[in-house]
Amino acid sequence: MREPRQKQSMPDPSSLTPDQIRTMSYNELVALVRETNRFPGGRRSIHRIASRLMLTSSSRVLEIGCATGSTAIELKRLVGCDIYAVDINPVAIAEAQRRADVENLAIDFATADAADIPKPDQSFDIIICGNVTALIDDKAKAVAEYDRVLKSGGVIVAAPMYYLEPPSTQLIADVRAAVQVDLPIAYREEALDFYFQLGFETYDVIDYAFDEVSQEHVDSVVSGLLASPHLDALQPASAEALRNVYANYMHLFRRNLALMGFSILFLRKTHFVEDEELFTAHEVAKAGLNP
Ligand SMILES: C[S@@+](CC[C@H](N)C(=O)[O-])C[C@H]1O[C@@H](n2cnc3c(N)ncnc32)[C@H](O)[C@@H]1O
């Protein structure tokens, strides 16, 4: 089992120099900026998952790799279900808890490893693991753990991201260096096959491509993020350094996402035996909704 990382302290903006900011890793910058980490496709995906699963206030949901809590928080807002959300990063969990507290939402956030979930067998109706399992070293152990804590008849929702077009070697190297993770380069078939061979019933698959986003829109989102009041304490030169390094990262990630898509997979732990279905169908693709 990988031990959860030790508690790290949040950086104090007022004491940061421009040079310190320029040498911070992307992960440290995210903690400083408190950027919201979102499920692929954002809030629309969460709404679709909640309605697809017919979640109710009595549903017991586990979220794996919840980061700063946006998925758990949006689910709680939508249906008020019972949510236990874990991440291996204690700084992300502290921020998730702070955000839930601001809205007075009772969500049980905890620092834990996906491969060692501190809950009894068959505790959950639904497990949501958006773009996290592919990043875990021992995927088989993590999935065995999901299976252990999932009730019979329950559903795992996964959202693997993959390339629709090949990235350049330089782009991959830059993204890996930025996130400090040896990100896998997978295409749709390979990314989904991992889940299909696990032995769950494939209940549904919804495919998405990430939207095109203009450079101007990226810059405007960065400006909005950096206008957060907790960054007012930055010295002007440090604020300028933060704007430059953060905008560079956002443009890099958008260049990468422009080549990518993801699928939302619904995998059911089927608890009955039935003859195989032939009367199946797939949804007809439609254009994105974003302007
Ligand atoms: C790419 S982010 C995805 C966050 C969010 N689930 C989403 O869909 O956007 C991956 C998250 O998984 C967490 N993570 C990585 N390995 C983990 C593990 N073994 N157990 C629990 N969380 C883990 C990371 O700390 C990070 O917050």
Is 223 contained in some domain? no
Q: Residue 150: which CATH number?
A: 3.40.50.150
Question: How does pLDDT run across 123-145, given as a tens digit for each residue?
Answer: 999 999 998 898 888 999 999 99
Ligand 1: which residue has its CA nearest to atom 12?
65
Per-residue pLDDT tens over the stretch 270-285: 888 888 888 888 778 7
The pTM of this model reads 0.88
For residue 289, report the distance from its CA to the centre of ligand 1, in Å: 27
| In-domain check, residue 91 | yes
- Percent of the chain past pLDDT 90, that is, above it, reads 77
Per-residue tokens: 123: 């505790």
Q: Is residue 96 in some structural domain?
A: yes
Q: Is 23 exposed, middle or buried (0-12, 13-18, 19+ CB in 10 A)?
A: exposed
Mean pLDDT, the chain, whole residue set: 91
Q: What is the pLDDT of residues 212-236, one digit of tens each?
A: 899 999 999 999 999 999 999 999 9
Q: Distance (Å, rounded) from C-alpha 119 to C-alpha 75?
A: 21
The rounded distance, in Å, linking the Cα atoms of 218 and 289 is: 18
Q: 210 and 261 in contact (C-beta within 8 Å)? A: yes
Mutate to test the pocket of ligand 1, among 132, 179, 265 (most ligand atoms within 8 A of CB): 132
In a domain, 193, yes or no: yes
Write the DSSP string, 55-119: --TT-EEEEES-TTSHHHHHHHHHH--EEEEEES-HHHHHHHHHHHHHTT---EEEE-BTTB--S
Residue 79 is predicted with a pLDDT of 97
Q: Specify the residue for token string 């693997």.
A: 160
CA 123 to each of CA 43, 67, 82, 103, 118: distance values in angstroms, whole numbers, following the listed order? 26, 21, 11, 26, 10
d(CA 105, CA 245): 33
Provide the pLDDT for residue 4.
Answer: 38
> Is 249 contained in some domain?
no
238 domain residue, yes or no: no
Counting the structural domains of the chain, the total is: 1
Report how far ligand 1's centroid is from the alpha carbon of 239 (Å).
Answer: 28
The reply to whether 206 falls in a domain is: yes
Eight-state DSSP code of residue 38: -
Compute the distance from residue 288 Cα to the ligand 1 centre, in Å: 26
Residue nearest to atom 27 of ligand 1 (CA): 67
Interacting residues of 78 by C-beta distance below 8 A, sequence separation 6+: 46, 47, 50, 55
**How far is it, in rounded angstroms, from Cα 87 to Cα 110?**
7
Which 8-state DSSP code applies to residue 247?
Answer: H
Residue 7 clears pLDDT 60, i.e. is over it: no
Has residue 134 been placed in a domain?
A: yes
**How far, in Å, from the CA of 210 to the mean position of ligand 1?**
19
Residue 78 structural domain:
35-215+262-268
Are 223 and 2 spatial neighbours (Cβ–Cβ below 8 Å)? no
How far is it, in rounded angstroms, from Cα 171 to Cα 3?
Answer: 31
Ligand 1 pocket list (CB less than 6 A): 2, 37-39, 64-65, 67, 86-89, 92, 113-114, 130-132, 135-136
**Mutation probe of ligand 1 site: the residue of 87, 161, 181 with most atoms within 8 A of C-beta:** 87
State in Å: Cα 272 to ligand 1 middle. 32
Question: What radius of gyration, in Å, describes the C-alpha atoms of the chain?
Answer: 20
> Of all protein residues, whose CA lies closest to atom 11 belonging to ligand 1?
65
Q: Report which of residues 9 and 46 the model is more confident about.
A: 46
CA of 134 to the centre of ligand 1 (A): 10
Tell me, what's the pLDDT at 1? 33
pLDDT value, residue 216: 96
